[in-house]
A = this chain, B = another copy of it.
């Protein structure tokens, strides 16, 4: 939000960044050209110099999200050489999200907008593909590996969404037990 030093002209990135913050906080519907313009101390007219329309802004914001997301998680996992441990780390991480991945939750819970559908699908492919590689490294056939990766991803998405709509109904202890249950079942040979 705070731009360093003198603000000469607004970049598209500044708009996209502000939009992503709004999406994370309140969802895609809450993205309003008018309010973001006010936040950046610019006019709506200025916005339309940088973007074709509101949808283009949303698209840019989601593209930002995807890039940051991709650069983050997988790189960290690569530090762990054992594929079984990698999978366990992923499954564990899935069951303990903090308040910092609000955008993730909001997006997974709201892929109604075409740009959101695209962004979510891209991330889904990437994550399932990565998990399948780990399962394959454990000796499963490519097909079996892909099936298990897909099911693991379903669990992840379903958990995120259920936690989103009914946060109170999932106790910390239950989360831990469920994570163990899923890991045991999917990693069983």
- Give chain B residues whose Cβ lies under 8 Å from the Cβ of A28: 112
A188 to chain B, nearest CB (A): 8
With contact pairs A151-B182, A178-B150 given, residues A125 and B166 touching in the complex (Cβ less than 8 Å): yes
- Give chain B residues whose Cβ lies under 8 Å from the Cβ of A146: 174
Which of A51-59, A71-79, A81-89, A155-163 has 4 or more CB atoms under 8 Å from chain B? A155-163
A126 to chain B, nearest CB (A): 12
- Check A147 for interface membership: any CB of B closer than 8 A: yes
Closest to A106 in B: B112
Which of A34-42, A61-69, A116-124 has 4 or more CB atoms under 8 Å from chain B? A116-124
- Against B, the Cβ 8 Å flags (1 = close, 0 = not) of A177-189 are 1100110011010
- Against B, the Cβ 8 Å flags (1 = close, 0 = not) of A73-114 are 000000000000000000000000000000000101111100
User: With the chains together, A23 CA to B159 CA distance in Å?
Assistant: 24
The reply to whether A154 and B162 contact each other, CB–CB distance below 8 Å, is yes
The reply to whether A162 and B157 contact each other, CB–CB distance below 8 Å, is yes
Q: Name A147's contact: one of B27, B120, B159, B178 (CB within 8 Å).
A: B178
User: With the chains together, A29 CA to B151 CA distance in Å?
Assistant: 30
Q: Name A156's contact: one of B111, B147, B153, B158 (CB within 8 Å).
A: B158
Extra contacts, 15 of them, besides A110-B112, A147-B178, A154-B154 (Cβ < 8 A), are: A29-B29, A29-B112, A108-B161, A110-B111, A120-B165, A121-B165, A121-B169, A124-B162, A124-B165, A146-B174, A150-B162, A150-B170, A151-B155, A155-B155, A158-B158
Instruction: Report which A residues bind B (CB closer than 8 A).
Output: 27-29, 106, 108-112, 117, 120-121, 124-125, 143, 146-148, 150-151, 153-159, 161-162, 164-166, 169-170, 174, 177-178, 181-182, 185-186, 188
